[in-house]
């Protein structure tokens, strides 16, 4: 006799109200399948909610890590959901000195697209762009992307 059984017998005077018998019965296959489906659905649902909770950059032009022969006039950022343009900020992160804020606006045709005008004197070499956006669900996301403007090398003649 197990300790638990002796404990129940001591409390209930050998009247366990069928608990021992029910505990010994195996779960039916249908109950096991239902329990497994419930656990899987809860796990997938929690992951989907977490993934859907934040805006994320899905595409940019110029593309992240692109190497360009000429400096672009603007940077275009596409997100997985609509963003609030009044609370969006885009800036250049220079190698030295303070951040350089960029004027930006949302494209009227696509509420997921944010466009920023780049300065005409964009330096050659790596360019880091920082952004901070507020998605329509209220989550703030801040990140960076980089691209490179090739330096022109002149061959001596």
Quick: pLDDT tens for 89-107.
999 999 888 999 999 998 8
Residues 145 and 70 in one domain: yes
Residue 38 lies in a domain: yes
Task: Give the sign of the dihedral formed by CA 33, CA 35, CA 38, CA 40.
Answer: negative
Nearest to 92 by CA among 120, 55, 56: 120
For residue range 34-53, what is the model confidence (pLDDT) as tens digits? Answer: 666 666 776 665 555 444 55
- Cβ within 8 Å of residue 27, ≥6 positions away: 35
Question: Residue 10 — pLDDT band, cuts 50, 70, 90?
Answer: low
Residue 133 lies in a domain: yes
Residue 17 lies in a domain: yes
Residues 25 and 43 in one domain: yes
pLDDT of residue 84: 87
For residue range 134-157, what is the model confidence (pLDDT) as tens digits? Answer: 887 788 999 999 999 998 764 555
pLDDT of residue 6: 65
How many Cα neighbours within 13 Å face the side chain of 61? 8
Residues 92 and 110 in one domain: yes
Tokens 């403007």 belong to which residue?
A: 149
pLDDT of residue 5: 64
Strand ordering across the sheet containing 104-107:
57-61, 74-79, 110-117, 104-107
Residue 155 lies in a domain: no
Residues 91 and 139 in one domain: yes
Residue 157 lies in a domain: no
Contact 154, 136 (CB under 8 A): no
Contact 124, 95 (CB under 8 A): no
Residues 46 and 94 in one domain: no
Residues 74 and 90 in one domain: yes
Structural domains in the chain (count): 2
User: Torsion-angle region of residue 17: left (phi > 0), alpha (psi -120 to 50) or beta?
Assistant: left
For residue range 66-80, what is the model confidence (pLDDT) as tens digits? Answer: 999 999 999 999 999
Strand ordering across the sheet containing 140-149:
67-68, 140-149, 125-134, 89-93, 100-102
Residue 48 lies in a domain: yes
Residues 82 and 139 in one domain: yes
Residues 85 and 133 in one domain: yes
Residues 145 and 72 in one domain: yes
The CATH number linked to 136 is 2.60.40.1220
pLDDT of residue 53: 57
For residue range 117-130, what is the model confidence (pLDDT) as tens digits? Answer: 999 989 889 999 99
Domain around 38: 3-52
Residue 156 lies in a domain: no
Residue 154 lies in a domain: no
């Amino acid at each position: 006799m197990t300790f638990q059984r002796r404990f129940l017998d001591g409390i209930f005077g050998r009247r366990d109200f069928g608990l021992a018998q029910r505990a010994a019965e195996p779960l039916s296959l249908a109950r096991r399948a239902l329990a497994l489906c419930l656990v899987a659905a809860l796990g997938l649902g929690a992951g989907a909610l977490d993934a859907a909770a934040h805006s994320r950059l899905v595409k940019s032009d110029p593309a992240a890590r692109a190497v360009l022969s000429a400096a672009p006039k603007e940077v275009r950022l596409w997100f997985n959901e609509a963003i609030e343009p009044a609370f969006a900020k885009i800036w250049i992160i220079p190698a030295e000195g303070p951040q350089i804020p960029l004027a930006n606006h949302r494209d009227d045709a696509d509420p997921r697209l944010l466009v920023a005008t780049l300065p005409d004197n964009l330096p050659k070499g790596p360019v880091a762009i920082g952004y901070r956006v507020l998605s329509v669900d209220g989550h703030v996301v801040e990140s960076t992307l980089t691209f490179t403007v090739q330096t022109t090398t002149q061959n001596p003649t």
